[in-house]
Structure 1
Amino acid sequence: MKITALIVDDEEPARDELAFLLKSFPDVEIVGRAKNGLEAVSLIRELNPQLVFLDVQMPGLDGFGVIKRLLEKKVRLPFFVFATAYDNYAVQAFDVNALDYLLKPVARPRLDKAMGRVRLMMETAAPAHEKLERLVQMVEERPSQSGKANKLLVKSGGRLYLVDSDDVIYASIEDGVISIVTRDFEGQSNFRTVEELQSNLDPNTFWRVHRSYLININRIKEVVPWFKSTYQLKMDDRKQTEIPVSRAQTICSACVANAKLMLAAV
């Protein structure tokens, strides 16, 4: 019985190359190709492939976003083999969850190994849904019961980083894209809304002081008085960004009071 497979990659040459290599596997049948995340979700629901070769970094809905969207829609998940150009730290995260990965450009010997693992997983592994839920939880680090610092998945300069939430100074949203700012760099979050990001962070540390901003209260450098009894919060990033405190937010007064106490203790 053949393994039905779907190829997902935003680059046509990469799709063609992988399809060419897979044609040499007699037990694999390519049932479709997707050029972006949204198309991948649609084809997975329509074709129900057993195996998906999934590019990690794609414009818009990336590889992790595809998995999240499928989980949200309660779609029966296939097995996934990731295609990635990321460093070993991110690659090891995939490996821990018993999923395989291919480094671009794809080499035939490595594809042989990946297919061997896929066949073994189909025979012996736990359901893909459970494994992928653990993967999404790990790379996006939902709050843990241990109280230890969580991590966020952040894309910057074409690479994927796992960032300690304590290192995040603030997050902002513009044109539907969430930016994460630390002392060292800025990048994009995989979360779709500020509310979704906030729900995955410590509510005692990250406060929504404006509809477009989520701040780490431990990274406030100065409270700056502004017009009509409002405030600007100067943050501890390299640019010392000043973030407006919306009067409509019920937590604003508490935020300012807490910041003043912190500054007074210094």
Structure 2
Amino acid sequence: MLTHNIVRQHSLPCQKLDFSLFFALDISYSLESENDSIVVCTVYRNNVEVKSFAERSVPPAGYVPGFLSMREFSPVFNLIEKVKKQFVPTLIVLDGCGRWHPYRAGLACYISLALGIPTIGVSKNYLQIEAKNMPIVETIDKHSVQDFFNALNSPENQPAGKLQYVERDGFPPFENHHMETYQDVSQLHFRSKDQSGKKRYYCSLGFQSQNEQELLNQVIAMKDTVLGAIRVADLSGRAVLGISGFKGQVEWI
């Protein structure tokens, strides 16, 4: 918990998100073996894709709900360090949670802390936690669904190691974007243009800032760029593994 306390208190004197040269990263896993994975870093300069770099990786650990950073930090960090020899990022966008996380410390927070660079965590699924011995409510009514903060604070879930991950596609409903705030943490919910507008993404900052709301407004303004970049990194990795027919080119590093 000491590490989580350090990460969740990580603060940067960031007054404005600089998208002039940013990285987008995602890891794709083989359908046959989770030990066969591809991490991709796509470089964008002035909102234009420059190049995608790929590297095969072996996850150092299996996936444990709420601890994606234990599994993906090393592969993501190592590829960033290699790409940085050619490009110096002003911002990093990656697949994973930022501060919107039960421990206020998702993968994006660890990367930001390690590199001292602002990050945005982009999750493809809304993170919810089911309290131990608490039945899942089969309804799309927001007020009837046990969200992960309620579960985190429930007596049944002490200590927090008893938390379980629950995916609920399509929760909560929104038109274009929606901001959800709990205490000092905000998360943006976006509906992308792909899949007939049905795909949703959830973004949060990977660091603390005194002007979080203004920075999130900048993310809203750059929504299509952010989601498009994550999508390219995702499809590039899956194409290498033969999971998608994406035609983008990647350079092995």
| TM superposition score normalised by structure 2 | 0.27
Task: Flag the structure with higher helix content.
Answer: 1
Asked which structure has the greater CA Rg, the reply is 1
